Chain A
């Protein structure tokens, strides 16, 4: 056993860190220092900077515009981005539909879509959940009826994150309901901007920002050539897509960044003639989370090390999302506690009332309640783990 890092990897980390520092525009860096919210324009500006450097899709094969880095380098790159507070890129194109097309798309689909995903010219979103198909996703009802060389779509998707900015949506539609509910689902790509019959309406989240939308389809026509995989093979596509880049799902780097922010806030919060960071009770609360995060980071390191040796992630990796999101939320809760009365503030409070480093805490604290819900709720994660460890017949 060995936790040491090779000199090559250490040098790589230095290179990435130095580049990020140089490449990040000052206004984005200022927001990063204050742990602030990045509107869509900032995210896309950063996307293009990474694209020009050739680093926007580290996990794609080189021939499609990826970097060819191994898992170790990808993990370091991702950690350094989070550490610097860089805007998180929208995952739907680069992280999800891109890799899926590389694996299962036709040649025409790859040529049509991949370059614009890379450049950020086309933004993607995901159409999975429906009002009555959440955790029980396979019961989805959005109909796709074949009509010549088109599918005609009718129904509704919800929690379509980023649909208000997106040009394209990848979605699961029902093409057949005669068999098991997992059968008869088809994976389609739809042009959100230019298909008559598609309507997008963003939700305002409890964080006061827009993240996800509702999307309606009324006789929306999608060419058959935009189908990925066979008709009725959509469930397999959806599962394959979930397999991509799950090793970092625990959000360890994000939580570490937030922990530093908690200390930063506490250091600037007066309690009598001292600061909150001098308060031993508060220090112990931080310490408990920091120690638990270290345990999770080690669990993630074990998953990464196994993946580096080409092994499929085992059951131990399934705890990363479960524990990681809980820690993440607890840290934002602690950050709210650190602020005292300032926790009353909102991101439009004037700086005289709320210092810039506290401006976005309440918004993110509220929005991040979603962390234990999205990506398969934590209760679903527990079901998956229980199925794996119990292996009861018929379950």
Chain B
């Protein structure tokens, strides 16, 4: 066991941290949250040039041969500045699927330019009725000659408003909740029959509602087996959960440090409020949750690359549950300990609070992960 970073990893962490401090403090996110796109293509390209987008991809695909941990380290630092560029949807979700499932041609065409920061991607999988069940897919893909024609609706598509290419899940066979019969289709934007309704998230990040009304997808834009996409989608969403833990760690750490600083500087009754034991104990409990979240973030990042599917699901579920319950303890107390000022928009804490709450709602909430955990065969193994 070793949890130290390599020299290269430490260099990446330092350079992303420098970028956040100098070029993308929270102030930048504040300005961008009211713009149409919400993020800047020039900055995205710069991130590509720095190699941050390609850090976790194999060398033969134009990456740096790294692993998921490398992406998690970048995400954590981006989280500290609420950097709005679409790293999670574009690199982790859609990029991950293209890397895993795409043919050489598909990767050349869609993955390579994204890793350079020239384009951005999205993954559209959630539907109004599906909640967190990935197999609940009613969007249809019907064969017409060599093409597929897509009909349906996708909700809360992260970066869906700006992406140059959206990977869409759609049913090619089976009933609406069958595990088989789900395919992944690459839809370029704009495309005939694709309508994108921009939707502002409560965290100030932008998403889209997609309406697919007869979108024609050629055979060469199908990723892998058009009926066997679900295990890959599950893999990608688990990595999304691990990425949420990583980015969320940045926000949790930031909220914790800001709260500690406030406890030391804010005075009431003639003394810093951090001298009151009731608040000291709350801070100590926050610290415990921060450390448990960090431990889980590492666990999730390491398991995101695991070939053992059950181990991956089990441990990423444990991590996501900790982000959702332990992380919540930190964020609710960060606001509480700031008092009234914590509920004002001018104070940054509320922005971190909102972003965390969104990450908690993505890729399975606590109840969903607890439920999946107790359904895995390992839960009933080795009882005695």
Residues of A with Cβ closer than 8 Å to B? 1-5, 33, 72, 260, 263-264, 267, 277, 280, 283-284, 286-288, 290-292, 294-296, 298-299, 301-302, 304-306, 308-309, 315-316, 319, 322-323, 379, 381-383, 385-386, 389-390, 392, 395
Q: Is the CB of A385 within 8 A of B287?
A: yes
Q: Is the CB of B281 within 8 A of A379?
A: yes
Q: Is the CB of B292 within 8 A of A319?
A: yes
State the CA gap A316–B295 with chains docked (Å).
10
Chain B positions within 8 Å of A287 at CB level: 370-371, 373-374, 379
State the CA gap A385–B315 with chains docked (Å).
28
A294-B296, A295-B292 are known; give 14 further A-B pairs, CB within 8 A. Answer: A1-B302, A5-B1, A72-B1, A260-B382, A267-B383, A280-B371, A284-B374, A292-B321, A302-B295, A308-B1, A319-B292, A383-B277, A383-B284, A392-B264
Q: Is the CB of A389 within 8 A of B3?
A: no
State the CA gap A382–B282 with chains docked (Å).
9
State the CA gap A260–B381 with chains docked (Å).
9
Q: Is the CB of B1 within 8 A of A295?
A: no
State the CA gap A314–B318 with chains docked (Å).
24
Q: Is the CB of B284 within 8 A of A386?
A: yes
Q: Is the CB of B315 within 8 A of A294?
A: yes
A302-B3, A323-B292 given as contacts; is B287 within 8 A of A389 (CB)? yes
- Our pick among A4, A286, A323, A379 for the contact of B288 (Cβ within 8 Å) is A323
Chain B positions within 8 Å of A4 at CB level: 1
Question: Any chain A CB within 8 A of the CB of B192?
Answer: no
Most chain B beta-carbon contacts within 10 A, residue among A4, A267, A284, A299: A299
State the CA gap A301–B302 with chains docked (Å).
14
State the CA gap A292–B285 with chains docked (Å).
15
How close is B71's CB to chain A, nearest CB, in angstroms? 13
State the CA gap A277–B380 with chains docked (Å).
9
- Bitwise, B339-368 to A at CB < 8 A (1) or not (0) is 000000000000000000000000000000
Residues of B with Cβ closer than 8 Å to A? 1-5, 69, 260, 263-264, 272, 274-275, 277, 280-281, 283-285, 287-288, 291-296, 298-299, 301-302, 315, 317-319, 321-322, 326, 369-371, 373-374, 379-380, 382-384
- Our pick among A267, A298, A383 for the contact of B280 (Cβ within 8 Å) is A383
Chain A positions within 8 Å of B287 at CB level: 315, 319, 385, 389
Q: Is the CB of A382 within 8 A of B3?
A: no
Q: Nearest 4 pairs between A and B by C-beta? A: A386-B280, A298-B295, A385-B284, A382-B284
Chain B positions within 8 Å of A382 at CB level: 280-281, 284-285
A306's closest neighbor in chain B, by CB?
B3
Chain A positions within 8 Å of B285 at CB level: 382
A1-B302, A301-B1, A386-B281 given as contacts; is B318 within 8 A of A284 (CB)? no
How close is A252's CB to chain B, nearest CB, in angstroms? 12
B256's closest neighbor in chain A, by CB?
A389
Chain A positions within 8 Å of B263 at CB level: 390
Chain B positions within 8 Å of A301 at CB level: 1, 3, 295
Chain B positions within 8 Å of A379 at CB level: 281
How close is A64's CB to chain B, nearest CB, in angstroms? 28
Q: Is the CB of A2 within 8 A of B326?
A: no
State the CA gap A308–B3 with chains docked (Å).
11
Q: Is the CB of A294 within 8 A of B299?
A: yes
Most chain B beta-carbon contacts within 10 A, residue among A4, A280, A295, A323: A295
Chain A positions within 8 Å of B280 at CB level: 382-383, 386, 390
B281's closest neighbor in chain A, by CB?
A382
A283's closest neighbor in chain B, by CB?
B374
- Our pick among A260, A322, A392 for the contact of B383 (Cβ within 8 Å) is A260
Chain B positions within 8 Å of A277 at CB level: 380
Chain B positions within 8 Å of A302 at CB level: 3, 295, 298
How close is A67's CB to chain B, nearest CB, in angstroms? 20
CB-defined A-B contacts under 8 Å, sample of 13: A264-B383, A291-B321, A294-B299, A295-B292, A295-B293, A295-B295, A295-B296, A298-B299, A315-B287, A322-B288, A390-B263, A390-B280, A392-B274
State the CA gap A284–B380 with chains docked (Å).
13
How close is B261's CB to chain A, nearest CB, in angstroms? 10
